[in-house]
């Protein structure tokens, strides 16, 4: 009896499993990297870092996860000015043209007090890490069953 067909199926199945593992690992690393980009400035802003001032809202973009705004920032002392500053950390529902208090750190604007933006990033970093760990665990503990 010829078993070459079974070996070919097992080989292609193993290749698919390796590709799936690679995809999940890369996806998890991508989620972690994208979430980690701004965590330092978000954490600093939440703990009193950055510069306090006013953000004048120019654009609003809404999606499933909420709304994001872009505007111009001017510090209270007038020394720090920035255009095209992004934020999604505004508690109320402001309108375009509104001037809102904000804390500017790392090129983004955050709520001036009690910002939780860094906590959201930590959740996504942990989710990405969980995907990587799961993919590697499944890859290294999966045993082929004898045929």
Taking residues 96-110, report their average pLDDT.
91
Mean pLDDT of 59-69: 86
CA-to-CA separations, 61 to 29, 57, 71, 103, 135, in angstroms, rounded:
27, 11, 12, 20, 34
Task: Output the pTM of the full model.
Answer: 0.66
Give residue 7's pLDDT band: very low, low, confident or very high (50, 70, 90): low
The H-assigned helical ranges of 37-141 are: 39-46, 117-141
In 3D, which of 13, 7, 29, 10 has the Cα closest to residue 127?
Answer: 29
Residue 133 has pLDDT above 90, yes or no: yes
């Amino acid at each position: 009896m010829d078993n070459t067909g079974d070996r070919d199926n097992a080989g292609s199945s193993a290749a698919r499993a390796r590709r799936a593992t690679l995809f999940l690992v890369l996806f998890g690393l991508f989620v972690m990297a994208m979430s980690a980009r701004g965590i330092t400035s978000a954490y600093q802003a939440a703990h009193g870092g950055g510069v306090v001032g006013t953000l004048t809202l120019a654009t609003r973009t809404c999606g499933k996860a909420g709304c994001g705004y872009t505007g111009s920032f001017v510090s209270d002392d007038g020394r720090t000015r920035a255009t095209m500053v992004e934020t999604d950390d505004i508690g109320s529902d402001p309108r375009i043209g509104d001037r809102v208090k904000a804390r500017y750190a790392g090129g983004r604007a955050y709520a001036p007090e009690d910002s939780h933006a860094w906590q959201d990033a930590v959740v996504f970093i942990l989710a990405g890490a969980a995907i990587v760990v799961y993919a590697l665990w499944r890859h290294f503990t999966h045993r082929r069953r004898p045929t």
